[in-house]
Amino acid sequence: MNRLRDQYDALLLDLDGTLYRGPDVIVGAPEALAPDGDSAQRLVYVTNNASRGPGAVAHHLDGLGYPATADDVVTSAQAAARMLSERLSPGDRVLVVGTDDLAAEVKAVGLEPIRRFDDTPPAAVVQGHSPTTAWPDLAEAAYALRSGALWIAANADRTLPNERGLAPGNGSMVAALATASDREPLVAGKPFAPLMEDAIERAGTRRSLVVGDRLDTDIEGANGLGLDSLLVLTGVSTLDEALGAPTSRIPTYIAATLDALNDAAPVEAAAPADIAELLRQYPGRAVRVRAADSEIR
């Protein structure tokens, strides 16, 4: 059978809303990605969430039934640290708004992570999701930004899906700091290029399929780099949103779940109005919404 996944050498997989939601695994997703004799794709797990290091992410994925090691995980914290290292000098101080894992990534590239400063402002502020970020953390960052510090946000996701619904994401905290500082950050995570470029490098191939649940991050990020994408309807973005999306957010394929990776080649939609009906007629398959980037080129 000519499966969707067999057209690609790597799958660049989003996590929140695609593989799990909060602590709960998305039913059927581990089985859809389980290795078999016919699966030769490299699985690269690509997360905008900067709160955990790649080892912790891999341990979590492995516990949920996904085959993963730290080398298979690419995080926005790593991408943000790389961006800092390209713009700063070794040993420069970086104010961290986020978890200790984000601070560890900053230290790993030869910079000094700090949480507070006195008279001398840090060279940069890096901001990533942490459920414990509070007013004093944002205030300290605002002081640094108004003193001219470089600002890099790991990601700008406004929401974070969990088992109860949509909670505030890092982008909500970034918006608060933008208001307080009259500044806008450089962003490492999807849909911006740095994280996706790191994922392609880790996969070792541009013949990759981006798989995710968000039009504004996963799909827009894939389109920006000329990669094919699969939107799964298990997380944030809905089918109605996909049908009304601007060109920059139109996926190559839409499917109800990850099962579509292992089913027959996608069915073709002659017009957007056909997509919903085709998903009902072929519940285990993907619907191709537009030409693959490989065909466009």
Helix axes 170-181, 135-146, angle to 10 degrees: 50
Helix (H) or strand (E) holding 32: helix 29-33
Question: Can you give the length of the chain in residues?
Answer: 297
Residue from 7, 6, 14 nearest 234 by CA: 14
What is the C-alpha to C-alpha distance for residues 280 and 35, in angstroms, rounded to an integer?
28
> Residue 147 is which amino acid?
S
Q: Is 14 a catalytic residue?
A: yes
126 in Cβ contact with 96 (< 8 Å): yes
CB 199 within 8 A of CB 74: yes
Task: Please say if 16 is a catalytic residue.
Answer: yes
Residue 258, amino acid: L
Rounded distance between C-alpha atoms, residue 121 and residue 117, angstroms: 6
Q: Which of 6, 16, 62, 92 is catalytic?
A: 16
Strands (E), the chain: 10-13, 20-21, 24-25, 42-47, 73-75, 93-97, 112-114, 124-127, 150-153, 159-162, 165-168, 186-187, 208-212, 228-232, 253-255, 267-268, 287-288
The strand pairing partners of 187, in sequence order, are: 153
120, with CB counted inside 10 A (0-12, 13-18, 19+), is exposed
Sign of CA dihedral 241, 243, 248, 249: positive
| From 6, 9, 14, 182, active-site residue | 14
- Residues with catalytic function: 14, 16
